[in-house]
Chain A
Amino acid sequence: MENRLRILLLASLLTTTSGCATMHKLWPWGHREVDAQVAAQKADADADAAAAAADTAAPPTVIEPQVVRRKIKVPKIKAKNIELGVNYGEISIESYTAAPVWGVTADYHITEDFFFEAAGGQAQAGETSFETLSGDIQLLTPAERQFTYYNLSVGYNFLPGEVFLGRNHAMTSGFYILGGMGGVKFEGNSTFSANFGAGFRVLPNDWLSVRIEAQDIVFKSDFLGTNRLRNNIKAYIGASVYF
């Protein structure tokens, strides 16, 4: 009997409590929690709607193209084609003694092969054999004894290469030949002359050049009796600077 009562009571308790569980909304506590859940759900829905709205709207610009093309101003490239130089050497003036000669040159390099050269120089000629042997007879005044030459030549560079100073230094070098025309002022006259020669040039650096050269300056003169060609061979060492 006692057992039956116990079962009844337990059964009724179970039913009432389960009913409480279903009727939890009637309880005063717990409502706030539910409200918060609802609000959260609503907020989620709102966010989804906003995202959907954003998706349907125009896509936002992510990177602004700010590419400005660089303007290249091509600077003028300096050309070092002009070469100015001085030289000093010895000239053997035909029929006279050899004499020291100094000169100046101005070169314009057109290509790596060809160049123009304007040259001029002076020497003081000695005496002819006749003057030396005859004693006091002087054929020329000191001013007439001054040998002045000037000419315009075309040159050609060939056999370019390098010369080596010891183990650590190499310098560019090259041979050249040149020939041209000009004038010689000597024995009180100006005479047309032709000149031709060859030389060797070494460049210790890009702006300096050292050269040894030999040239023959030929002119025709009848001053010493017969009208004949006179060869005046000049050998010199020179230095020049590129501009």
Chain B
Amino acid sequence: MLAPSTTTTRLPRRSINWLRAIALLLVTLAPVCQAADRDLLQLFVTDPYLELHTGPGRGYPVSQVVARGDSVDVLYRKTEWYKVRTERGVEGWASEASLMRTILADGSAFKVDRGNRDGYRTHNWEFGILVGDYAGASEFGGLAAYSLTDHLKAELYGAQFLGNIYNGYIVDVGLNHVFMPEWRFSPFVTLGTGVERVEPRTTLVKPVNQNYQTAYVGFGARYYLARRFFVRAEYRSHTVFTNTDSNEVKTEWKIGFAFFY
């Protein structure tokens, strides 16, 4: 006859209920997790073989190959390298270029939107970082733009400038008109308004920080590099509406990298 174990401590009833609840949850979640496994993209090799590297880069050695006709499941990617799992369960990194020569289960080619000249002309968003000079002070900032049309974009730019006489921040909102968005080198004009915060640098007297409203006009150009990337350079002339009788004019130029989506 079996007797209750005397060596194991029994869990109180409440804990058992909790465990039951967790077990039930796991059981209900298990099919979901399995379904997630099946949701992986399956690609079939059409090249003589597909090379798998040990890491996400061309410099990492090739550790496996997948034969023509076999398939791989795509797990995730890092830049232009994809972590894949073979039918035998071996994992490795395949380059985007090699995976673009594989096919899906329905026979169609695997395509990746890597960004191209068409995307450079027509896109929704742009983001970039720029460095430059704001009225003698060094400046660095970030830019976001939304395309209203291929030609017209709404822009938001924020930057900090650090100089010998004063430091500060600027935030600008404006419109940007690109004349020929299909050109690789395409000029633009820009117009907008913003605010400027000036923090004078002085060790002698307590500085007084001041905020001013500004307006700007400018021109510049963008140059398409590759994929999603382009260089952007521009000049802006800011009119600062000060409390004194005359407005102040500050010039700004900057250059930076940007990418589009």
Contact = CB atoms under 8 A, between A and B. Distances in A.
Interface of A: 69-72, 74-75, 77-81, 109-112, 116, 152, 154, 157, 159-162, 170, 172, 174, 181-183, 188-192, 203, 206, 223, 242
A77 B72 CA distance: 14
A146 B168 CA distance: 20
Interface stretch (B55-63, B216-224, B237-245): B55-63
Interface residues of B, number: 42
B55 A203 contact: yes
B80 A111 contact: yes
B147 interface: no
B83 A206 contact: yes
Nearest to A76: B41
5 contacts: A72-B104, A77-B82, A160-B59, A188-B203, A189-B201
Contacts of A203: 55
Interface of B: 39-41, 54-61, 74-83, 104-106, 108, 110, 129, 131, 137-138, 140, 160, 162-163, 167, 199, 201, 203, 227, 229, 257, 259
A161 B60 contact: yes
B77 A79 contact: yes
Contact of A72 (B60, B74, B106, B199): B106
Given A162-B55, A181-B140, A80 B60 contact: no
B105 A79 contact: no
B104 A160 contact: no
Contact of A80 (B58, B77, B163): B77
A57 to B, nearest CB: 39
A152 B143 CA distance: 13
Contact of A181 (B40, B58, B138, B227): B138
A178 to B, nearest CB: 14
6 tightest A-B contacts by CB? A160-B59, A172-B55, A192-B162, A192-B138, A78-B76, A112-B57
